[in-house]
A and B are shown apart, each in its own frame.
Chain A
Amino acid sequence: MSDRKLTITYNDRVVRQFMLATVVWGAVGMLVGVLIASQLNFWRLNFNLPWLTFGRLRPLHTNAVIFAFVGNMMFAGVYYSTQRLLKARLASDFLSSLHFWAWQAIIVAAAITLPLGFTRGKEYAELIWPINIAVALIWVVFAINFFWTLAKRNEPSLYVAIWFYIATIITVAMLYIVNHLSIPTSLLHSYPVFGGVQDALVQWWYGHNAVAFFLTTPILGIMYYFLPKAAERPVYSYRLSVIHFWSLVFVYIWAGPHHLLNTALPNWLQALGMTFSLMLWAPSWGGMLNGLLTLRGAWHKLRTDPVLKFYAAAVTFYGMATFEGPLLSIKSVNALAHYSDWIIGHVHAGALGWNGFMAAGMIYWLLPKLWNKPLYSTALANLHFWIGTVGILLYVAAMWTSGITQGLMLNATTEGGTVLAYPNFLDTLNAIRLMMLMRVIGGGLYLTGFLLLAYNVIRTISGAQAVDGRVDVYVDDLKSAERPLGVFGTFLNPPVVFSALGVLFACVWMFGGPALQIVGLFGTAICAILAVAHFATRGTRWAGWYERLLVSAAPFTVLTFVAVAAGGLIQIVPTVVVNKAQNMEERIAKPYTPLELAGRDIYVREGCYNCHSQMIRTMVPDVLRYGDYSRLGESLYDHPYQWGSRRTGPDLARVGGKYNAAWHFVHMADPRNTSPGSNMPNYPWLYNNHTDVAALYGKINVMRALGVPYPPLSAALVTEEVELQAKTIVEELKAAQQLTSSDREIVALIAYLQRLGKYEKVVRSAAVTP
């Protein structure tokens, strides 16, 4: 052993900062959640104010919980455990500090812009493009800080938690950048580069994997570090953790299309999404059991130790949520559950149970260590646990009941399946009122518990002295133990070569013409046979490469990136290539008129997609209720797509022409005028605000750049078209004794709503033959 002893002092200041930010933003995010849940019960809580309506606050709630609450918690946990597992101080104090303060600035920017209606109109990806760039840059700062620390580590072995962090950093970067590709029309507005089914697929590739790689993999890394520490015993099975990591990372990325089952999404993608979702059962439960079994011999501590209570419950909720997720991905189950509160319940079992309780356990465990002072009150922490648990159970049970009730009612038919049993949508909404109230109570209890945590934190750290951890390491020993793989070693080895060739031939087989198909099929088969033969005769080379990979951070990162990118590319590339007008069958959208486009932007701004879908599924009850099922071509030019994910109100894909303009005019002023029992907010400002006609010329140019076939239009012509169409609507309203000016936003919104469901028939000869 070398004599060169080095004492390292960790940067725990940034851990403390992120941890306190978790507490603050967690309380804010949950408070907004309770408010919007209350708005669903009592529509007056929207206060007739644009920045307090459900449609604008719901994105604030989801973004706050995901990126502010869990994000800050994740950074705290990652920075704390990484330093200790690598026996190295974070590489740069400046980058650490920049990471913290810039992330908080981003959160504040989101908290200001979202209620003001500045949004991209895509769930969990609502933030406007300047903030998107800031997020991407700060994520890069995080990555540099992390990988730099990895490079100067004093422990050659990479514990499995570090693997999870690596997968998180690279995958989130990839997902975030691709799903936020946009072309700006102004400083505060942009259109996504993807449209229609492309946008839907990319969105849920991102959305699902935001759950996977933002809310799950980093928290699993945290679980693998903090749970053994709290239980004071090593992880139950390190072997199982290895299997857990690779299978989870490999499988998760493919499951996104399960958010689009029974829609116009091509069948092969739906089948792929469903199959991979079902296969997620295995790694998820492997990880869950590994976590729970780590508590072997320590169960008695749960009686008194709130940290272990939180961890045990969190891992149990992880197991519940990851059982429920694949279940909901079965197409027939999804037909009942999709667009209903069941999905909301599922999400909250994960967010409140898994993320929230992991955060609480971590905070209670870290507090005494980071401030060198015992927790102010263990009894309060235990009370938090029980209040929180009861809150989650109330919430989730209410949402299950609500979702199944409404789903069954919406899908119920009579007369041999030809007539809807509950044709009035509001009957199904009013049937779940009690459950919606229970949800508020459950959420309120959970928030109360979290406020107890905040109180406990304040009392613990008040008057306490912050401390930074230290460790002694022996540098020379560790450096000589490293055997880096290098570039050639990373790629030119049997596992990588055979995998790459196999994927290449499989792609040729799937996407090639008749001759190439045969080449691809034989190539894939030969590749598989050669790989098996090579493995059988030279298996030690495969194993040797794998073992060196595990101590080589850069090659490990590159290959993990390749593994996660493959799933996305195979799903997205064919859809992006094929989603063009000449490939559409039956029906195709017409570009929106300038006034309709302005109305659509208002629809997106108000967050209507949070409650209304625009996708009639290929199911009899959907068709009976909303009209003919939606075709791919009908949303071809929708940037962003508006298929939605929840139907608090009815689907609007074919609402155009269903009612007259006056109906919409009266409805938007107070939905209860036309729909007694509705819980939709009033939109009085639409009758006063002026339509932003001046911006339309630039917006249409961006749309044209995105491939929407607008004819050449001058700014004057755009204004002329807007005035002409608005005048027609105003005249129609006037005939029904509803008076307004043609320059008001309500007129543009009516133009858009009346347009929904209108399409052109595709002339057969125009279609490209296969």
Chain B
Amino acid sequence: MFRRLIFDHWVAIFPLISFVVTATVYFAISRQALRMTPRQTEHFARLPFEDNHHDAS
């Protein structure tokens, strides 16, 4: 059965499957990302700025 994968020339389907799978992931994640509220994105984007202060150790 694996032999068919190695030697046969039916590879044209792979780019198609790859594209469909990846496009699905892109769209699903894009949808999730776009559904984030401005409050959520603002909260996440501000995380690096919840600052510290440095003292001599």
Interface residues of A, Cβ cutoff 8 Å to B: 9-10, 12-13, 81, 84-85, 87, 155, 157, 159-161, 225, 228-229, 234-235, 237-240, 242-243, 246-247, 250-251, 254, 266-268, 270-272, 274-276, 279, 282, 369, 372, 465-471, 506, 510-513, 543, 546, 574-575, 577-578, 583, 585, 632, 768, 770
Contacts and interface: CB of A to CB of B under 8 A. Distances in A.
A240 to B, nearest CB: 7
The 10 closest A-B pairs by CB, nearest first: A234-B45, A239-B33, A469-B52, A578-B2, A242-B33, A238-B41, A275-B15, A246-B29, A471-B52, A159-B47
A470 B15 contact: no
A467 B57 CA distance: 5
B56 A467 contact: yes
28 contacts: A10-B52, A12-B57, A84-B50, A155-B50, A157-B43, A159-B47, A225-B48, A234-B46, A235-B45, A238-B36, A239-B36, A242-B29, A246-B29, A247-B22, A247-B26, A247-B29, A266-B6, A268-B5, A268-B14, A270-B11, A279-B22, A465-B56, A467-B56, A470-B55, A471-B50, A543-B32, A768-B3, A770-B4
Contacts of A510: 5
A279 B11 contact: no
Nearest to A467: B54
A519 B22 CA distance: 23
A558 B48 CA distance: 25
B46 to A, nearest CB: 6
Contact of B25 (A228, A246, A274, A467): A246
A306 B3 CA distance: 57
Contacts of A84: 48, 50, 52
Interface string B2-44: 1111110111101101110010011001101111100001111
Contacts of A238: 36, 41, 44-45
A577 B2 contact: yes
Interface residues of B, number: 43
Task: Classify the secondary structure of A's interface with B.
Answer: helix
B55 to A, nearest CB: 6
B11 A267 contact: yes
Contact of B14 (A87, A271, A468): A271
Given A242-B29, A468-B57, A159 B14 contact: no
B54 A468 contact: yes
A65 B41 CA distance: 36
Contacts of B22: 247, 250-251, 276, 279
B30 to A, nearest CB: 5
Given A250-B22, A276-B22, A546-B32, A469 B53 contact: yes
B52 A239 contact: no
A527 B35 CA distance: 25
Nearest to B6: A266
A84 B7 CA distance: 53
A279 B24 CA distance: 13
Contacts of B46: 234
Nearest to A511: B1
Contacts of B41: 237-239
B19 A770 contact: no
A247 B54 CA distance: 37
Contacts of B43: 157
A768 B3 CA distance: 9
Contacts of A512: 1
A543 B36 CA distance: 10
B2 A85 contact: no
A240 B36 CA distance: 11
Contact of A279 (B2, B19, B30): B19
A85 B52 contact: no
Given A84-B52, A242-B32, A282-B26, A770 B1 contact: yes
A575 B7 CA distance: 11
B32 to A, nearest CB: 6
Nearest to A224: B48
B52 to A, nearest CB: 4
Task: With a 10 A CB-CB cut-off, give which of B15, B35, B51 has the most chain A CB atoms.
Answer: B15
Contact of B18 (A9, A272, A575): A272
B29 A243 contact: yes
Contacts of A466: 57
Contact of A770 (B3, B14, B29, B54): B3
A267 B2 contact: no
A498 to B, nearest CB: 11
Given A159-B44, A770-B4, A267 B9 contact: yes
B33 to A, nearest CB: 4
B52 A574 contact: no
B45 to A, nearest CB: 4
A459 B40 CA distance: 43
A196 to B, nearest CB: 12
A279 B52 contact: no
A491 B33 CA distance: 22
A68 B38 CA distance: 41
Given A469-B53, A574-B2, 17 more contacts: A157-B43, A228-B45, A228-B49, A235-B45, A238-B36, A242-B29, A243-B29, A247-B25, A247-B26, A247-B29, A251-B25, A268-B14, A275-B15, A369-B54, A512-B1, A574-B5, A577-B2
Nearest to B17: A506
A274 B14 CA distance: 10
B49 A234 contact: yes
Contacts of A511: 1-2, 5
B56 to A, nearest CB: 5
A578 B6 CA distance: 8
Nearest to A583: B3
Contacts of B57: 9, 12-13, 465-468
Contacts of A272: 14-15, 18
B33 A275 contact: no
Nearest to A8: B52
Contacts of B1: 511-513, 770
Contacts of A275: 14-15, 18-19
A469 to B, nearest CB: 4
